[in-house]
Amino acid sequence: MTPGVSARRVGAIILRHVYLMRSSPVRVIEMAYWPTVQMIMWGFISQFFLTHSDWLVQAAGALVSAVLLWDVVFRGNLGLSLSFLEEMWSRNLGHLFVSPLRPYEHVIALTLMSLLRTLIGITPAALLAIVFYEVNIFDMGLPLLAFFSNLLVMGWVVGLGVSAMVLRFGLGAESLAWVFVFAFAPLSGIYYPISTLPDWLQPVAWALPAAHVFEGMRGVLFDGVFHMGHFAAAVGLNVVYFSGTVALFLWVFHLARQRGQLLNMGE
């Protein structure tokens, strides 16, 4: 049989998660709840700093924009890993993988679900930022699309890595879906330039796509310049990390077939 991606099978998995969201409006509200609360809190902090910081006066929306963009990483990660965890919670993995669904089709479906969940989560907060603080993140224009895409892919890398750990070690590792991504926050330069970090730590930070994105964001907001170098570095790193994480997930899937974990995984 010729390997290939079946749009119908990928669509079936997306349909399964759309049905799930439709059955529980609370889940949809929850997706938008935290980004909105974060945005409101950082909006007030920004207003306070505007009267106490010359640096922030140069770009009033920098903190709120940073909050919204960091949430792309968090939501991208959570959107993917939660979609995977749903199959384990419902003890459905065995049925899925005795169907013609291929593991890489499952990965594609998980990334598309992550995109959907991220948009549902971030869009209301971004719109409310305009209403509450007159911070319009969409004013960044095309660079925003570049930042969003790179941060989303970084979220997928983390989410797929977490999913691989859960597949390997079971649901005992599920809390990683919520906490693991924050290990990268201090190094990503979300609210401060990478130059703030100790010299020895800066090379580590530059190995993260998010560090290039947030440095690029400040370039656009403070100087009105889109730094192609940071963009290219973020894309390059994401290609390497995403390829590596897909390979890791498929390898762990292979191990699960060796160990017989697919039929009996679940709560």
Partner 1 sequence: MTHAAPTKLPEPAILVRDLTKRFGAEVAVDGISFTVRAGAVTGLLGGNGAGKTTTISMLLGLLLPTSGIVRVLGHDMVTDRHGALPRMNFSSPYVDLPGRLTVRENLTVYAHLYGVDGVAARIKVLAEDLDITGLLKKPYNKLSAGQKTRVALAKALINQPALLLLDEPTASLDPDTGDWIRSYLKSYQDRTGATIFLASHNMAEVERLCDDVLVMRAGRIHDHGTPRALIDRYGRRTLEEVFLDIARGHDRRTTHAVRDEGTPPPPSAPPADPATGTGTEAGE
Name the burial class of residue 47, with classes exposed (0-12), middle (13-18) and buried (19+) by CB atoms within 10 angstroms of its CB. Answer: middle
Residue from 37, 53, 58, 90 that binds partner 1 (CB under 8 A)?
Answer: 90
Which residues, 6 or more positions from 196, have their beta carbon under 8 angstroms from its beta carbon? 189
C-alpha distances in angstroms, 28 versus 57, 80, 121, 143, 159?
A: 35, 15, 8, 28, 19
Q: How many CA atoms lie within 13 A of 27 on its CB side?
A: 15
Q: How far, in Å, CA of 79 to CA of 158, rounded?
A: 11
The window from 67-75, 99-107, 118-126, 151-159 that contacts partner 1 (CB under 8 A) reads: 99-107
Residue from 30, 41, 58, 95 that binds partner 1 (CB under 8 A)?
Answer: 95
DSSP structure class, residue 172: G
The distance in angstroms from the start CA to the end CA of the chain is 34
The window from 14-22, 34-42, 213-221, 234-242 that contacts partner 1 (CB under 8 A) reads: 14-22
The window from 36-44, 86-94, 208-216, 236-244 that contacts partner 1 (CB under 8 A) reads: 86-94
CB nearer to partner 1: give 51 or 258.
258
Q: Is 185 in the site for partner 1 (CB under 8 A)?
A: no
CB nearer to partner 1: give 9 or 168.
9
CB nearer to partner 1: give 98 or 204.
98
Binding site for partner 1 (CB under 8 A): 1, 3, 6, 8-9, 11-13, 15-16, 19-20, 23-24, 86-87, 90-92, 94-102, 254, 257-260, 262-264, 266
